[in-house]
Amino acid sequence: MDFRDLASRLGIDEEDFTELIELFVTTTLSDIDKIKKGVANNNPADAAAASHSIKGAAGNLGFDDIFNLAKDMEMQARKGSLDNFENFISDLEKQLDAINNL
Amino acid sequence: MGNKQPYTVLVVDDNLLNLRLIEKSLSKEGYQIFSADNGPDARAIAAKENPDLILLDIEMPGENGFDVIKKLKDNSQTNAIPVIFLTGVSEVDSKLKGFELGAVDYITKPFHPLEVLARVRIHLKLSIATNSLIQDQASKLRQVTEAQVSMLPSPGDNPGALFGVYYKALEEAGGDFYDILNISEKITGYFVADFSGHDIKISYMTSSVKALLAQNCTPVYSPAESMKMINDVLVEILPDGKYLTACYMHINRITKKMTIINAGHPPVVCQPQDGEPYLIKTQGDVLGMFKDAHFGTQSINVSMGDKFFVYSDGLVESAQNKITWVSGADSLLPVYKKIAEVPYDKAPAQLVNNLFGDDSFPEDDIVVLCVKV
């Protein structure tokens, strides 16, 4: 994942992109918390809503892997299932770490 | 939308990151951005700031994008602002629903900021072009209105005619028309007409009618002769299918005699100085349609202080309630009774106010003339 490349593909400069990524990491962390709570309370609707939020932001920033992951999570949670969400969450956190270390 | 002022875009999305992303890419190109992360805030900002364009996310908690656009379109302050909505790529139904509710375009999510920028540009261009077209047409129509209104004589300019008037044209080119003819010091003609249709062509016709009245309503001709002459010319010059209903009231304040020539127009209401109001019903052809037209004619003796109301059918007809003036005029007599004590110069406005209230709008053009003997 090339930082500069992503920024220029979005048509914004690196400084703005850095700011957006910081915002993305913060909001995604808070969304992950919501998903964890949803899993703990067996509340798929909350998990779906938080996944939807991650999906939207990741998609627009060009983070395709996170976008696809969040999309799968949202679809599954909308059907009422939270199976395998521990793995989903840990994948998500790994992806987010990678971005954070860019 | 001036040149100096930056174009303003309101961005509405519950996803904070998307808000910032759009904000950054658009403000970099010189747009001024307002943002809201929920529907009620968005509507408040739209009403206050009147942005040139709104980007609206559909999926939001609470008031969703569909609710927001519905309310924006229902509000006269915001209903002209173009709305582009943001929707998921596969949601065909929501795209159709957005268009149905009045959106001008959609952007699928995930969106690319450059695509957003391109669509914002094209819709601003479209909106600028449309606005200038509307401005252009409106200014032309305003000229017509001004010309029309300047043709209508005011009570102040005709103190001897002792009349009050209420005139309201619903559209720029109104179909109602009236004129006052000072035939001699104590003889006055009052003419109220309603053209069939309300188009621009008609508004040019009112000047012809005004000229015809000036030429033909003179002491030399009787009221019936004046109307016959005017009718015969109008038959020649009016476009096919166009005609007018009209009432010509001729009052001689020396002989205390009043003559009404009615051409398919609602009946004149007489409010005697002391007595019950009544209708002066006559039957006759409309004006400008038939060469050998026959008009309803009636002459009555009048007394000082008697009042007469001449009006157009907009006062008594209601398309909504299916009332025509034939039945509507009768039902209005109690309303005239109520305003019997109102001075003639205030009576027309009072009458309209009593009938329609302060906030309901008449369905048609209205002219009401109240004349005192």
pLDDT digits (tens, 9 = 90+) for B179-237: 999 888 889 999 999 887 656 566 667 777 888 888 888 887 888 888 888 888 888 87
**Whether residue B285 sits in one domain with residue B206:** yes
Nearest to B17 among A20, A49, A52 (CB): A20
**Whether residue B312 sits in one domain with residue B232:** yes
Contact B25 A11 (CB under 8 A): yes
Number of structural domains in chain B: 2
**Whether residue B189 sits in one domain with residue B318:** yes
pLDDT digits (tens, 9 = 90+) for B352-364: 888 777 655 666 7
Nearest to B317 by CA among B362, B271, B261: B362
Residue with tokens 């559209």: B171
- Structural domain contains residue B242: yes
pLDDT at B142: 65
Structural domain of residue B203, as residue ranges? 151-372
**Whether residue B164 sits in one domain with residue B136:** no
- Structural domain contains residue B1: no
Question: What ipTM was reported for this prediction?
Answer: 0.84
**Whether residue B226 sits in one domain with residue B354:** yes
> What does the domain layout of chain A look like in residue ranges?
25-100
B23 contact A CB<8A: no
pLDDT at A81: 93
**Whether residue B175 sits in one domain with residue B75:** no
**Whether residue B303 sits in one domain with residue B172:** yes
- Structural domain contains residue B35: yes
**Whether residue B114 sits in one domain with residue B43:** yes
- Structural domain contains residue B3: no
What's the DSSP call for residue B148? H
**Whether residue B190 sits in one domain with residue B166:** yes
Give contacts of B20 with chain A, Cβ < 8 Å: 19-20, 23
**Whether residue B208 sits in one domain with residue B330:** yes
CA distance between the termini of chain B: 54
Nearest to B140 by CA among B178, B173, B170, B169: B173
- pLDDT of residue B144 exceeding 70, the answer is no
**Whether residue B362 sits in one domain with residue B278:** yes
Pairwise CA distance, residues B22 & B36, whole Å: 12
- pLDDT of residue B114 exceeding 60, the answer is yes
pLDDT digits (tens, 9 = 90+) for B52-72: 999 999 988 899 999 999 999
- Structural domain contains residue B69: yes
- pLDDT of residue B92 exceeding 70, the answer is yes
Residue that finishes a domain, picked among B98, B118, B142: B142
- The pLDDT confidence band at residue B1, using thresholds 50, 70 and 90, is very low
- pLDDT of residue B116 exceeding 80, the answer is yes
Residue that finishes a domain, picked among B142, B175, B191: B142
- Angle between the B223-237 and B200-216 helix axes, to the nearest 10 degrees? 140
Alpha helices in chain B (DSSP H): 16-27, 39-49, 65-74, 92-100, 113-150, 200-216, 223-237, 325-331, 333-338, 347-356
What CATH number should be reported for the domain holding residue B227?
A: 3.60.40.10
Residue that finishes a domain, picked among B142, B170, B196: B142
Mutate to test the interface with A, among B15, B18, B37, B90 (most CBs of A within 10 A): B15
pLDDT digits (tens, 9 = 90+) for A11-34: 888 888 889 999 999 999 999 999
Nearest to A60 among B28, B59, B110 (CB): B110
pLDDT digits (tens, 9 = 90+) for A56-100: 999 988 899 999 999 999 999 999 999 999 999 999 999 999 888
Q: Which token pair is B47?
A: 């009403």
What CATH number should be reported for the domain holding residue B88?
A: 3.40.50.2300
Mutate to test the interface with A, among B12, B14, B16, B17 (most CBs of A within 10 A): B17
pTM metric for this prediction: 0.54
- Structural domain contains residue B18: yes
Average pLDDT over residues B46-56: 95
**Whether residue B181 sits in one domain with residue B263:** yes
